[in-house]
A and B are shown apart, each in its own frame.
Chain A
Amino acid sequence: MLPCFKPFGLQTTGSLLYRTAVDATVSPPRPRGWHRFANPGQFLRLAARVTPPVAWAGGILTAVGLFWGLFIAPADWQQGNAVRIMYLHVPSAWLASAGYMALAACAVASLVWRHPLADLAAVEIGPVGAAFAALCLVTGSLWGRPTWGTYWVWDARLTSMLVLFFLYLGHIALIRAFDDPQRGYRAASILALIGVVDLPIIHFSVQWWNTLHQGNSISLTSAPKMYIGMLAPLMVSALGFTLLFAALVLARLSAAVMERRTRAVLLAEVRSA
């Protein structure tokens, strides 16, 4: 086994599929630093160890956070029980933005360093992020009706979030649109990077313009404007959502790497036969 695996104690995982997978690759000079995580074999070993605990922790934290928020936390003095939608809406909004940031990071890794794992990751992150963006829009709309008096308005926050959802859809379509996957990866990377301008617009829209959407209750630079009995379940829920998002992407990406490996092995067998 390669010496750089040792700090992770990963040399013990060695299923037949992984070994075949590793043997099937021609190993280039071993990369150092962060780049070694771009090695698909390295990634598979890491993902096999990390995914189950991340998925369990995410599931449990999400369940605890949602139960706490939906049943234990107090109602808001103005919104009443409608405030509870927040425990779904806010984490999905954060995750939709964070997921797009991850897409952009994959795009940089793909365009600059040509990491094949970054391309596969971009393929797999897209639908997960789009699902969270859709959840954010739907829950926000259901909250808006009782609180504002309308399901939808074209204010800057709502519109920029809708644009993010469409960016996800465009990315999902574009990355699968070419017969030559490399061309799809290239085009989708450029789309992902252009779309990044939407993220600061989403975040600052409530400060830059008069919007119907309220300002940020939680920020890094000022004290929270929320009762701690609401803030705590929201944070637990957000952490749970984040871990679930990571687990979904890790599982999808592992499956994609293995699928690609299996195809390569089968092709090699067909050729040699």
Chain B
Amino acid sequence: MKRKHRRLLILVACLAGLGVATGLTLAALRNTLVFFLSPAQVAAKPPPPGQMFRLGGLVLKGSVRHLLKNGHPVNDFTITDGKGSVPVVFGGVLPDLFREGQGIVALGSLQPDGRFVATEVLAKHDANYMPPDVVAALKKSGEWRPSQGEPPPAASWDFGVKTKAGPATRGG
């Protein structure tokens, strides 16, 4: 065996070992590397009251209420993931993207009564990129509403939104 072949073999062996080690480490860290817990995870294994953690999910439709408590504005809403839901109280300023059906991540802790008191709310953006006129056209044609979740694939409206009644149109 030539020396360069031996070096290549040693290198491949080392890299394979490194890959396996990394894979095992990541598998072991799988649960602790999570940036946020979903409502279902919280329901299955609730963190002790007072412990700070991040809660992520969608803002439940129709759950947002802007209240005044002791003269301070407070936002009341529910975070859901379809399998579970957690009521949230937040006294700060909501991000621009906050709306019903939007994915958000809230930092805070559970109260003994089961409500989640947030100190920070971040909006999560999804992987879909759409111009406003396409969204308007999809809404108009009844094809999709933002509260329904994932929009139809881009290829279906890239060159115009097909309405059930007539030919393809863009804009609304």
Contact = CB atoms under 8 A, between A and B. Distances in A.
Contacts, number: 124
Contacts of B113: none
A41 B94 CA distance: 61
B98 to A, nearest CB: 9
Main secondary structure of the interface of B (DSSP, over half): mixed
Contacts of B8: 112
Contacts of B105: 212
A180 B135 CA distance: 61
Interface residues of B, number: 44
Interface stretch (B44-52, B60-68, B71-79, B119-127): B119-127
A230 B131 CA distance: 9
Nearest to A222: B153
A8 interface: no
Main secondary structure of the interface of A (DSSP, over half): loop
Nearest to A78: B97
B35 A156 contact: yes
Contact of A209 (B19, B34, B132): B34
A91 to B, nearest CB: 15
Interface of A: 74-79, 83, 86, 108, 111-114, 146-150, 153-156, 193-194, 196-197, 201, 208-212, 214-217, 223-231
11 contacts: A76-B131, A114-B4, A147-B97, A154-B35, A156-B35, A197-B18, A209-B35, A214-B126, A227-B157, A229-B131, A230-B129
